[in-house]
Amino acid sequence: MEQNQEPKEFKLYSIFTGIFCTALVMVPVLGSKFIAVGSFALNGSTLAFPITFIFNDILTEVYGYKRSRRIIWTGMGCQIFATLMIALISVWPAADFWTNQAAFQTVLGLAPRITLASLLAYFFSEFSNSLVLSKMKYWQEGKRGLAQGWRFVASTIVGEFFDSVVFMSVAFIGILTTKDILTTILTIWIAKVLYEVIALPFSMRFANYVKKVEGVDKIDYPDHTNYNPFAVFFSKKNLPEKYQ
């Protein structure tokens, strides 16, 4: 297999899109509960959201930034759709025999500020994660082993930092004290990065396995990679020739 030699079709790309979007849609549901991990309290979504970063690393590592960006936007679209449907069902009049509206609201009720915080955090964190990994792979000339492990971890450190800071700031400034916000940011940031480190043996081996199955090991060369996250919405005729 040669790097950047791509087949016409990919066997696993659509499957990964489904897994990525499923994990993402689960986040607001799991986020309605806080769980105890020793003496620490973590939001339930802390267990699910890092999965999207692991798959983002694998997708960018194998298929490159352009295809990873497509899945990121697909995931965001799924999250917005799920949010709108939950909001619609929440306000829709219940059947006469159904008496669980309060429980439904407690578990799935959506606060506009929390929803906005989640979407902004997702946007900044996933794209920064993919961008860092893409550029590091180019600088490292696609090396595997320790170099590959470092770019997986480094991209997660950056991505999870933006996720934690953006979400906690948008969702809780003016509600929690600055000390509590900073403490929570640090706690969930460290927890999510450790999640990635623990999963590293799996994610690296799996990424290299996917490269073998798909017959591709994409390196994003700067002269031919458009890192604008919104480029997916442009038609090819509106893009510079080198990006088409």
Run of H or E including 201: helix 178-214
- Structure confidence by residue, pLDDT tens digits, 155-175: 999 999 999 999 889 988 988
Share of the chain above pLDDT 90, in %: 48
Answer for the pair 61, 148: CB distance below 8 angstroms, yes or no.
Answer: yes
Q: What is the predicted pLDDT for the residue at 2? A: 47
Assigned token pair, 189: 């940031």
% of the chain at pLDDT higher than 70: 89
Q: Encoding tokens for residue 56?
A: 């983002």
Ordered structural domains, the chain, with CATH: 13-90+109-232 (1.10.1760)
Structure tokens at 137: 């792979």
CA atoms within 13 A on the CB side of 223: 0
The 10s digit of each residue's pLDDT in 207-227 is 999 999 999 999 999 888 999
Provide the pLDDT for residue 86: 86
Whole-structure pTM value: 0.84
Instruction: Give the DSSP H or E segment for 157.
Output: helix 146-172
> In angstroms, rounded to a whole number, what is the distance separating the alpha carbons of residues 231 and 65?
11
Whose CA is closest to 49, among 80, 17, 26, 75? 26
CA distance 1 to 4: 9
Question: Contact at 8 Å (CB) between 139 and 197?
Answer: no
Least Cα distance to 148 among 228, 206, 187 occurs for 206
Q: How far is CA 194 from CA 149, 151, 200, in A?
A: 13, 15, 10
What confidence tens digit (pLDDT) does each residue in 199-209 have?
999 999 999 99
Query: pLDDT for 105-155, tens place per residue?
Result: 877 776 678 788 888 999 999 999 999 999 999 999 999 999 999 999 999
